[in-house]
Amino acid sequence: MPEIVLDDFLKVDIRVGEVIAAEPFPEARKPAIKLRIDFGGDIGVKKSSAQIVSNHPVESLVGRQVLAVVNFPPRQIGPFMSEVLTLGVPDADGEVMLIGPDRPVPIGGRLY
């Protein structure tokens, strides 16, 4: 990966939000879950498609705080418009594990 400068990093707006709804997304090419995430304030509620089914049962997601990039353009995923990129890291098997704060924090907070 090429080196970047701090100004490049600051262009990426990563915020904490709370999952307020989650449902299976069977129409996706790869197994995924449709999320509605509340970022509060000016950002509000946004939709995201996340390939997290291996580590995150749908019923465990509502109320969970997650990090997401909120300033990418929306992306059409099948019949669903994903508005934010929910962030995760790979587990030992390469499956996505969501990332978020260890303890509850105010929604809408920006990563720094």
Q: Hey, CA dihedral for 20, 81, 78, 100, is it positive or negative? A: negative
Q: Which residues of 60-81 are buried (b: 16+ CB within 10 A; e: fewer)?
A: ebeeebbbbebeeeeeebeebe
Per-residue pLDDT band for 81 (boundaries 50, 70, 90) equals: very high
Which positions ≥6 away from 8 have C-beta within 8 Å? none
Reported as a single tens digit per residue, the pLDDT across 1-25 is 899 999 999 999 999 999 999 999 9
Q: How far apart are the first and last CA of the chain?
A: 21
DSSP, collapsed to helix, strand or coil, labels residue 110 as: strand
CA distance 78 to 86: 17
Mean pLDDT of 38-49: 97
Average pLDDT over residues 89-103: 97
pTM of the model: 0.95
Sorting pLDDT into bands at 50, 70 and 90, what band is 89?
A: very high
